[in-house]
């Protein structure tokens, strides 16, 4: 019977439901029990068939159109992955109807994302085009412990791929991440720089590899490097803001997580070779890696090294600023559909100088007090053994999980160059473990829980044996829960952590605290997202803050620890507005943190051993700031790029600015693509920083002009990438406010860095 025109849709639906109800009642009451039961049993299957569809597509190289095999394609919301076949095609069956983010990932290339709508009973198609060197939205695993798009993460995330890591200065972690949004570098020379996130430094920024600590002492002192080889990494993820829930109380400022890959087996061979050459410090280096795989086994090996001599500035050469690195790693993994286990071995060796203050002829003994002219070099070495494993897709309340066990043996010596004597030896042995378990998704609810901990055995001998031999034990339990609706997402988390210190001859201390967070994500439209996050954080005092007592040239202070320090407690709010469309990629972040019992070094005004005496003290503090990024595509191949970040930090009792807070910084540039050629000139700007701590030196503002360019040649199983980074083209004399030696060691002068990478897959 034809339906009258003009009837409301809701009325027709109600009539349809009423007829179906009457039919069921008639069947049951009329003796059609068996037929009715059969129909009712088939209804869920019919519903399932109508409620699921298929997703397929092809992955090809940009320009040549050649198919790419063994690319990992993932439906992020479902955590389902397949790899492309030899002809570049992939296929998912039984995909529930809905909207999904789908990623295509090939190691050492930028991720590619597509947003796909799957309709019940239909086939959706999503083809991907891999460009090896271009702007891309990225996928993060660090922010929540599982794959998700960076734009939809509750936390603010920056991802730096392998090509960008090589194009920057990869001698040390801080050099490579400097001027990323919200990230600056603390340094005592180019060989030991370390990232500072939103003004947080040292023990408040956690550096990880594959989600677990690397056992170095970079957090402890301004002249200590992070023993991490950047050229062998697939990418580095920077999570800004308190990330204590998943990784620990030392992540109160943020997390830097290096990810090397080797996540799945694949038949055949793939690998890379990278070479670097640069002027101004005569930098040179090379790195190579290979993976040999079968359907279930994967073997990998990486190795390389770099060297740089004393760098030049507009004022001349900075003596004893050389740096050398060398590393090798390898592993074996066994992978099945529902689980894997792998073993990885790493050895890292470094040797770098600590620039010393030039002598000042004619100055009196009193005027020279506080100046250090002794030339010293450090020789860090790290040996590491890591065992990883995991399981997934189980039909149980716990659907999957991952575990990691790692042992790190780290040691470095501080050697006087004039006579070769060893001043101090530091040794840090750490045994770490971490297990994270995924809960079976129930409707809109998902989550994970886990445990983590470590045992640390720290010893130092010699001139800078500031703390006694100390054992540290750490244990934590945590959970992260999510509710996902069509346009709204909620996230809740909590972590309980205990730290215990047992020093020889001094008072033992232990601390237990809770960290928690609540996050809200609202999808304002298909391209716009608003995120709000509240966090409560806890940090135990570091070993060095409790027990150091003696001269510490690496921090330019005679440090006096305090066994009575209380734990730090913080509350913070992060707000973010993000847009990601075909022509605009933008985000604006606002943050405010209040830290009670904030620990800092307070100068006493006295001098000992040529260093200013400073005691570890506590006081309430606050951090406020903003970050913004706006990239606009004028055409598909021509983009305008811009970013700015600002942070202000002070003690709340007297308004005293905290030490080494980065100035307001901005970047302006363009990026254009012509076939496989890319060029991106940029202007880096910084304001004068005169909000300084006691005895801290202000720094002038500066502007530096750089040009980055690359040329990519792709073939079916081969890609060549040539990159040129021309930096400080105006040979500008400028100083990094976060450098501990900025008074006599300005930043590097005009130079060019050339990088060549060949990838085979």
- Mean pLDDT, range 47-58, rounded to an integer: 73
**What are the sequence ranges of the domains in the chain?**
52-130, 156-760
Q: Find where tokens 């966090």 sit.
A: 535
Report pLDDT for 693. 93
In this model, does residue 33 exceed pLDDT 60? no
Report pLDDT for 65. 79
Report pLDDT for 34. 38
In this model, does residue 610 exceed pLDDT 90? no
Cα–Cα distance measured from residue 632 to residue 320, given in angstroms and rounded to the nearest whole number: 43
The pTM score is 0.87
- Mean pLDDT, range 324-347, rounded to an integer: 95
**For residue 549, what is the enclosing H or E element?**
strand 549-552
Name the least confident of 102-106, 387-391, 542-546, 701-705: 102-106
Cα–Cα distance measured from residue 705 to residue 700, given in angstroms and rounded to the nearest whole number: 17
Report pLDDT for 15. 53
Q: Find where tokens 């060398």 sit.
A: 326
Report pLDDT for 365. 52
**For residue 10, what is the enclosing H or E element?**
helix 9-29
DSSP letter for each residue of 687-707: --B----TTPPPB--EEEEEE
Which CATH number fits the domain 52-130, given the four candidates 2.60.40.1120, 3.40.50.2300, 2.60.40.420, 3.30.465.10? 2.60.40.1120
Instruction: Please report which confidence band the pLDDT of residue 35 belongs to, taking 50, 70 and 90 as the band edges.
Output: very low
Q: Does domain 156-760 have CATH number 1.10.10.10?
A: no
Mean pLDDT for all residues in the chain: 88
Report pLDDT for 69. 83
Report pLDDT for 337. 85
Cβ atoms of 240 and 157 closer than 8 Å: yes
- Residue 592 is encoded by which pair of tokens? 């405010």
In this model, does residue 352 exceed pLDDT 80? yes
Radius of gyration of the chain (CA): 28
- Residue 109 is encoded by which pair of tokens? 């290339």
Instruction: Please report which confidence band the pLDDT of residue 31 belongs to, taking 50, 70 and 90 as the band edges.
Output: very low
Name the burial class of residue 125, with classes exposed (0-12), middle (13-18) and buried (19+) by CB atoms within 10 angstroms of its CB: exposed
Instruction: Please report which confidence band the pLDDT of residue 83 belongs to, taking 50, 70 and 90 as the band edges.
Output: confident
Residue 282 neighbours by CB distance under 10 Å? 15
Report pLDDT for 536. 95
- Mean pLDDT, range 474-486, rounded to an integer: 93
In this model, does residue 6 exceed pLDDT 50? no
Report pLDDT for 145. 84
For a pLDDT cut of 70, what percent of the chain falls above it?
A: 91
Instruction: Please report which confidence band the pLDDT of residue 150 belongs to, taking 50, 70 and 90 as the band edges.
Output: confident
Q: What is the pLDDT of residues 263-321, one digit of tens each?
A: 888 888 999 999 999 999 999 999 999 999 999 999 999 999 999 999 999 999 999 99
Instruction: Please report which confidence band the pLDDT of residue 9 belongs to, taking 50, 70 and 90 as the band edges.
Output: very low
Report pLDDT for 692. 95
Report pLDDT for 574. 96
Instruction: Please report which confidence band the pLDDT of residue 56 belongs to, taking 50, 70 and 90 as the band edges.
Output: very high
Cβ atoms of 508 and 501 closer than 8 Å: yes
- Mean pLDDT, range 486-508, rounded to an integer: 95
Q: Find where tokens 């829960």 sit.
A: 481
Q: What is the pLDDT of residues 624-642, one digit of tens each?
A: 999 999 999 999 889 999 9
Name the least confident of 73-82, 183-192, 528-537, 663-672: 73-82
Q: Decide: helix, strand or coil at residue 88.
A: coil
Q: What is the pLDDT of residues 707-756, one digit of tens each?
A: 999 998 887 788 899 999 999 999 999 999 999 999 999 999 999 999 99
- Mean pLDDT, range 2-7, rounded to an integer: 40
Report pLDDT for 105. 83
Instruction: Please report which confidence band the pLDDT of residue 224 belongs to, taking 50, 70 and 90 as the band edges.
Output: very high
Dump strand ranges (E) for 355-487: 376-378, 381-391, 398-416, 422-439, 445-462, 470-484
């Amino acid at each position: 019977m034809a339906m009258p025109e003009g009837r409301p849709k809701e009325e027709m639906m109600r009539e349809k439901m009423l007829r179906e109800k009457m039919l069921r009642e008639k069947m049951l009451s009329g003796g059609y029990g068996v037929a009715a039961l059969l129909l009712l049993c088939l209804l869920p299957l019919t519903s399932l068939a109508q409620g699921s569809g298929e997703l397929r597509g092809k992955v090809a190289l940009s320009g040549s159109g050649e198919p790419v095999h063994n690319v990992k394609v993932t439906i992020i919301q479902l955590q389902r992955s397949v790899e492309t076949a030899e002809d570049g095609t992939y296929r998912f069956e039984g995909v529930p109807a809905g909207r999904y983010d789908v990623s295509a990932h090939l190691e050492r290339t930028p991720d590619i994302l597509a947003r796909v709508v799957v309709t019940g009973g239909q086939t959706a198609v999503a083809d991907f085009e891999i460009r090896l060197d271009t702007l891309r939205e990225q996928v993060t695993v660090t922010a929540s412990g599982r794959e998700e798009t960076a734009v939809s993460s509750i936390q603010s995330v920056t991802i730096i791929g392998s090509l960008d890591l090589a194009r920057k200065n990869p001698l040390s972690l801080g050099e490579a991440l400097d001027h990323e949004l919200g990230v600056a570098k603390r340094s005592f020379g180019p060989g030991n720089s370390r990232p500072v996130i939103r003004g947080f430094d040292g023990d408040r920024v956690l550096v990880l590899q594959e989600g677990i600590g690397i056992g170095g002492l970079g957090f402890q002192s301004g002249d200590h490097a992070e023993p991490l080889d950047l050229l062998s990494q697939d990418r580095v993820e920077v999570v800004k803001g308190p990330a204590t829930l998943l990784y620990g109380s030392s992540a109160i400022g943020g997390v830097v997580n290096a990810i090397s890959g080797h996540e799945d087996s694949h038949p055949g061979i793939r690998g890379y070779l990278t070479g670097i050459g640069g002027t101004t410090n005569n930098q040179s280096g090379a790195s190579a890696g290979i993976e040999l795989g079968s359907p279930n086994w994967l073997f990998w090996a990486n190795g390389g090294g770099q060297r740089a001599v004393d760098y030049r500035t507009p004022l001349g050469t900075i003596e004893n600023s050389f740096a050398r690195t060398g590393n090798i790693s390898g592993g074996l993994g066994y992978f099945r559909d529902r689980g894997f286990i792998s073993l990885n071995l790493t050895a890292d060796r470094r040797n770098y100088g600590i620039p010393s203050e030039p002598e000042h002829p004619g100055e009196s003994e009193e005027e020279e007090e506080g100046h250090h002219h002794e030339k010293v070099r450090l020789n860090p070495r790290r040996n590491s053994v890591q065992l990883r494993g995991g399981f997934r897709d189980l039909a149980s309340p716990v659907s999957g999980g991952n575990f990691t066990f790692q042992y790190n043996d780290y040691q470095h010596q501080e050697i006087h160059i004039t006579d070769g004597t060893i001043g101090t030896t530091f040794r840090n042995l750490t045994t770490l473990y971490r297990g994270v378990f995924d809960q079976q998704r129930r409707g809109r609810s998902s989550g994970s829980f886990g445990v983590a901990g470590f045992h640390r055995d720290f010893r130092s001998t010699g001139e800078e044996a500031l703390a006694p031999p100390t054992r540290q034990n750490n244990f934590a339990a945590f959970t992260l829960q999510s509710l996902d609706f069509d346009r709204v997402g909620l996230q809740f988390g909590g972590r309980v952590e205990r730290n215990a210190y047992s020093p020889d001859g001094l008072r033992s201390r232990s601390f237990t605290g809770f960290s928690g967070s609540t996050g809200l994500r609202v999808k304002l439209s298909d391209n716009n997202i608003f995120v709000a996050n509240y966090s409560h954080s806890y940090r135990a005092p570091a070993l060095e803050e409790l027990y150091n007592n003696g001269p510490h040239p690496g921090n330019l202070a005679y440090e006096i620890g305090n066994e009575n320090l209380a734990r730090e407690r913080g509350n913070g709010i992060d707000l973010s507005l993000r847009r990601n469309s075909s022509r605009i990629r933008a985000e604006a972040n606002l943050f405010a943190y209040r830290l009670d019992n904030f620990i800092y070094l307070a100068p006493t005004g006295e001098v000992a051993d040529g260093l200013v005496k400073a005691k570890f003290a506590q006081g309430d503090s606050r951090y406020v700031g903003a970050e913004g990024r706006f990239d606009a595509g004028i055409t598909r191949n021509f983009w305008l790029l811009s970013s700015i970040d600002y942070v202000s930090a002070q003690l709340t009792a007297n308004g005293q600015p905290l030490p080494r807070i980065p100035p307001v910084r901005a970047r302006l540039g363009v990026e254009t693509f012509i076939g496989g050629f890319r060029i991106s000139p940029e202007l880096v700007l910084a304001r004068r920083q005169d909000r300084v701590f006691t005895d801290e030196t202000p720094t002038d503002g500066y502007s530096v002009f750089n040009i980055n360019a690359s040329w990519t040649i792709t073939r079916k199983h081969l890609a060549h990438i040539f990159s040129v980074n021309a930096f400080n083209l105006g040979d500008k004399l400028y100083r990094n406010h976060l450098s501990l030696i900025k008074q006599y060691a300005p930043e590097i002068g005009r130079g060019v860095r050339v990088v060549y990478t060949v990838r085979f897959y």
